Structure 1
Amino acid sequence: MRRFPRRDLSDDKRMFNYRLSRARKQIECAFGKLSSMRRFLRKPIEVHVDFAIDIVKATWVLHNYIQNREPEGTNDMDTIDADTDSPLMAMPTTARSAGRQNGDGKAVRNSLMNYFTSPA
């Protein structure tokens, strides 16, 4: 997901950009740890997007299962959280296209901005 451009940002947009950046860092770190152990994740997964998401979720579940069965201190890798009940998982997905973003992508980004900046 793209961040809001840096020109004339409102406080809500600035906060969204900050939180999006932090979330991306966490996701990249978790995926980096996971892909360091599972070589098939180091190259493009050439399947439909929905199936690729299922593959990554299943890999997280298997990783967490293995992680929780090993004795304490034998593996320094943290458990990766694949919380599928998160409100963010219910957000609609849009097809990627080359070039400029479409209106659906902007609607999703605005919806996430409203969620991130809400009092809840």
Structure 2
Amino acid sequence: MAIADSDYKFIAIDVGSPERFSDGSIFNPSVVAKKMMEDTLHIPSPAVLSPIEDPMPFVFVGGEAFPLFENLMRPYPKRSVTDNDEKKVFNYRLSRARQTVECSFSILASRFRIFRAPFEIKVNSVISVVKAACVLHNYLRNSVAEMSEEMNEEEMPKDQLRPLLQSNFTRSSQKALTIRQNFTTYFNTT
């Protein structure tokens, strides 16, 4: 499980959980979940998204197995989306945002072909290999970005260069539901 940024770099990873566990079961005891609970992730302050007047929090996006929290959005359940176009749009936009982390894993697997076949080493070694590959992946992403900035720096003006949660993991808070509804409204009006 991982958190990735818009440049396909890994911000946080959780390696070594048994495959039979769901994403939600892996997330709940994770360091990231604990830091969300303690509000120590240093997430940026909420910002206004017009036309919504209330400031909206920065959020992580997850799949259906994740809990819904103020800083963690998950899709609407399938049963509530069937006849609701606004919820379908929200789920589609959330799915598009989740593709960033999926693309990060695809880039990692393409770059390091060791991930294309089953590992034939001890489990502890697999964990170390995955962590090392993620660090190297981020390093290479930074190197590529720096090289492309150096190449484009002369062509572009300088000003155009690339410049959490409720303590209950079983029920979504009313505030989290309101935030998801506000994002639904935003996605359907922009």
Q: Which TM class, normalised by the smaller chain length?
A: 0.3 to 0.5
TM normalised by structure 1 equals: 0.48
Structure with the bigger percentage of strand: 2
TM normalised by structure 2 equals: 0.33
Bigger CA radius of gyration: 2
